[in-house]
Structure 1
């Protein structure tokens, strides 16, 4: 009887693991595939924006997105051009840099500015070549590649968990 209880507990843990692996599959991946949107998230471990430096073109959108954070965060441009609002644990705020906004914009997380939670968005002038879909968006480092890789990995975790569920269910019979 005790063995059956252990098996059921293990099965419950595996199912919970599967559900969590789907939950942490990131929404940003679909947005990153669109060249007109650059996603900036929060690295809560280091209290940094990720990526903390991006280069875009006029007409492109920056999306500040985080969910389920332990601490409240926001993104506020020093010059006031954008403000995601009050610091919150869940933020999905987008700002489009229209024609005529080419410049370099420094932004902060107000509650963590003293901990150097800051970032920079460099907006290049609009170029007619950009309208053909050849937008040159980049982030300093490979943070966006890391985000899409981690999202793929978290979805991949479902496969070993499914195998474990099958094995445990066979033991329960």
Structure 2
């Protein structure tokens, strides 16, 4: 039984004002109030979807208009909404009580087949400001622990899709 079903069952009881064993009156309205305070699970959506919902809500757009104009949003938002319509509607209604899905992070190291062995330079993808660059690094320690090398799939694919397709991305484990 979920919370809404429990509330409906309590409302349907003909007389729900009971006394407990100590003679205290338990009222239906009090029970419903306690149930309303229970933690509801939050809808989980990707960050771009959350940002779109936030923007549309702040500009007083309704759900129907948002669905009608969904083709105007970025591809990642459009495809997510197209494949998760019910979840999107739940998120819309639950806003701002939405959890943003944590994106997986990756490091990308481009191997140099002509240089093997200890101490040779590595080429890695690194975020500098709002852009991702291919940079040369000499020590693993200097780049494996840097957050600037922890990139999302979309950051990698934007300019370095070939590195993603070739399987050079490795998921960051925390």
User: Same fold per TM (> 0.5)?
Assistant: no
TM-score range, shorter chain: under 0.3
Structure with the greater alpha carbon radius of gyration: 2
- Higher relative helix content: 2
With structure 1 as the length reference, what TM-score do the two structures score? Answer: 0.22
Return the structure number with greater relative CO, CA threshold 8 A, min gap 6: 1
With structure 2 as the length reference, what TM-score do the two structures score? Answer: 0.22
- Higher relative strand content: 1
